[in-house]
Amino acid sequence: MAETETVAADHQRNPTGFQVFVVRLRRNLRTTTPYFAVLGIVLWLVVWWLLCEVLKAPRFEKMPGPVMVLKELLSPEPFLGISIFTEEFYQHVYVSCRRIFFAFCIATGLGVPLGLLMGWSKRFREYTFPILETLRPIPILAWVPLAILMFRGFEGPVIFLATLASLYVTTLNTLLGVDSIDESYFRAAGCLGSKPHHVFLHVVIPGALPFIFTGLQISVGVAWFSLVAAEMVSGDYGLGYLIIDAYMNNVTIPMVIGMVTLGFVGWGTSVIVRVVGSRMMQWRTRALALENR
């Protein structure tokens, strides 16, 4: 009885994520930071607009200004075929996101267990790490021709390249995460009578989580990076293809639309990873919140 009461009281004392968000937003609005941020972005847009559309400065005249891009992006009947009202636009976004999703899932599914094993077993690490380190300096882009030859079609090479990029990052960060776990946690688990699988489940995995999620955030970033490259070199759809296709056809507005969309979607995916991460690491989120970070 008394126990349930303390638990209930506990819940009241721990605000939900949304409440924390609102409190922080209110506090932030009282400082100058958000206003300066808006000012900065507006300033940058105005400079871009002036250079490209009003002054038509040399060389800048070739690029579309923000107003032109926005007009095209929001027009129901776009002049150049790409706007938020056309199905083709969503087709490109969808294809890229699907590829990222597969690549990210494969890379995480392989990289996290691999990294955990490498961190956990010294022998496994000494056999596999040198191979990884030898392959890693080869840039992902250098794999493009081989990927095209090894995988037929359009999907295979693109997903392979994005996966490869993410895989390195995820594996290495997971490995670092296991390394970062203080030796005393292993010792504590040992002297409390753990079997090796307990250590793995209760110490190695949760201890490495913060690094794993940092790694996953970077991994989404590099997945997009190599996806764009791969789609540019070989692709039939996708945002990278949209950009290079516009370039080939000598139209610049869809190109900028592609870049802006890429920025947005890429940012969105990294936010998703971050939110999932802080959900899974309540212990860390709460401790950081106490330190007001």
Give, as ranges, the residues between 171 and 190 that touch another protein (CB under 8 A).
182, 184-185, 187-190
Count of C-beta atoms within a 10 Å radius of residue 55 = 11
Enumerate residues 230-259 that contact another protein by CB under 8 A. 232-233, 239-240, 243-244, 246-247, 252, 255-256, 258-259
Round to whole Å and give the CA distance between 127 and 219.
24
What is the four-CA torsion angle of 156, 159, 160, 164, rounded to 10 degrees? Answer: 180
192 binds another protein (CB under 8 A): yes
Q: Which is nearer to another protein, 23 or 43 (CB)?
A: 43
Report the interhelical angle of 155-180 vs 87-120 (nearest 10°). Answer: 40
24 binds another protein (CB under 8 A): no
3-state helix, strand, coil in the chain (%, to 5): 80, 0, 20
Q: Which is nearer to another protein, 32 or 77 (CB)?
A: 32
Enumerate residues 83-142 that contact another protein by CB under 8 A. 123, 126-131, 134-135, 137-142
Enumerate residues 47-86 that contact another protein by CB under 8 A. 59-60, 62-63
Round to whole Å and give the CA distance between 209 and 174.
8
Least Cβ distance, residue 223 to another protein (angstroms) = 10
Q: Which is nearer to another protein, 1 or 76 (CB)?
A: 1
Least Cβ distance, residue 269 to another protein (angstroms) = 9
Cβ–Cβ under 8 Å, residues 114 and 107: no
212 binds another protein (CB under 8 A): no
Phi, psi of 257 (to 5 degrees): -60, -45
Q: Which stretch binds another protein (CB under 8 A): 78-86, 91-99, 107-115, 275-283?
A: 275-283
